[in-house]
Amino acid sequence: MIGPMRYISTRGQAPVRDFSSVLLAGLAEDGGLYLPESWPEFSPQQWRDLRGLPYPELAARVMAPFTAGSIAPDVLAGLCRDAYAHFDHAAIVPLTQVEDGLFVQELFHGPTLAFKDMAMQLLGRLFDHVLTQRGEHVTIVGATSGDTGSAAIEACRGRERLRVVILHPEGRTSDVQRRQMTTVLEPNVTNLAVQGTFDDCQDMVKAMFADAAFRTDMHLSAVNSINWARIAAQVPYYVYSALALGAPDREVAFAVPTGNFGNVLAAWVARQMGLPVRALCVGSNRNDILSRFLNENDMSIHGVVPSLSPSMDIQVSSNFERLLFELLDRDAEACARTMTEFRKTGRMHVPTPVWDKANALFHGVALDDDATVAEIRRLHAESQYMADPHTAIGIAAGRAFRESGIPMVAMATAHPAKFPDAMEKAIGIRPALPEALADLFDRPERYEVVAADLAAIEDRVRAAVLKNS
Ligand SMILES: Cc1ncc(COP(=O)(O)O)c(C=O)c1O
Ligand SMILES: N[C@@H](CCOP(=O)(O)O)C(=O)O
Mean pLDDT of 234-251: 98
Ligand 2: centre distance to CA 211 (Å): 22
Instruction: Identify the residue whose C-alpha is closest to ligand 2 atom 7.
Output: 225
Predicted local distance difference test score (pLDDT) of residue 1? 61
What are the backbone dihedrals phi and psi of residue 454, each rounded to the nearest 5 degrees, phi first? -60, -45
Which residue's alpha carbon is at the smallest distance from atom 9 of ligand 1? Answer: 260
Q: Please check the confidence at residue 213 and state whether its pLDDT lies above 90.
A: yes
DSSP 274: T
Ligand 2 neighbour 148 (Cβ under 6 A): yes
Q: Is 116 a catalytic residue?
A: yes
**Ligand 2 atom with the shortest distance to the CA of 224:** 9
pLDDT band at 11 (very low <50, low <70, confident <90, very high): very high
Ligand nearest to the CA of 223: 2
CA nearest to 172, candidates 346, 364, 303, 321: 303
Task: Output the pLDDT for position 300.
Answer: 95
Q: How much is the average pLDDT of 210-228?
A: 97
* CA of 43 relative to ligand 2 center, distance in Å: 32
Query: Measured in Å, how far apart are the chain's first and last C-alpha atoms?
Result: 41
Q: Which amino acid is at 277?
A: V
Residue 266: the pLDDT is 98
Per-residue pLDDT reduced to its tens digit, 39-81: 999 999 999 999 999 999 999 999 999 999 999 999 999 999 9
CA of 386 to the centre of ligand 2 (A): 22
CA distance 18 to 31: 18
At residue 299, φ and ψ (nearest 5 deg) are: -105, 80
- The ipTM value here is 0.99
Phi, psi of 355 (to 5 degrees): -65, -40
Digit-coded pLDDT (tens) for 94-130: 999 999 999 999 999 999 999 999 999 999 999 999 9
- Output the CA 266–ligand 2 centroid distance in Å: 14
* Position 146 pLDDT exceeds 70: yes
Mean pLDDT of the chain: 97
The reported pLDDT for the residue numbered 466 is 93
Please work out whether the CB of residue 262 comes within 6 Å of at least one atom of ligand 2.
yes
Q: From the DSSP assignment, how many helices (H) and strands (E) are in the chain? A: 20, 15
Q: Which amino acid is at 103?
A: F
pLDDT of res. 468: 85
The pLDDT confidence band at residue 425, using thresholds 50, 70 and 90, is very high
Nearest CA to ligand 1 atom 15: 311
Per-residue pLDDT, averaged over 257-266, amounts to 97
Global pTM? 0.97
Nearest atom, ligand 1, residue 261 CA: 11
The reported pLDDT for the residue numbered 2 is 75
Alpha carbon 5 to chain centroid distance? 22
State phi, psi for 104 to the nearest 5 degrees: -120, 130
**What is the Å distance from ligand 2's center to 145 Cα?**
6
CATH of domain 95-113+230-427: 3.40.50.1100
Q: Which one of 116, 304, 388, 419 would you pick to mutate in the ligand 2 pocket, going by the greatest count of ligand atoms within 8 A of its CB?
A: 116
- Which pLDDT value is given to residue 469? 84
Q: Could you report the per-residue pLDDT of 376-394, keeping only the tens digit for each? A: 999 999 999 999 999 999 9
In short, whether 389's Cβ falls inside 6 Å of ligand 2 is no
pLDDT digits (tens, 9 = 90+) for 312-331: 999 999 999 999 999 999 99
202 has a pLDDT exceeding 80? yes
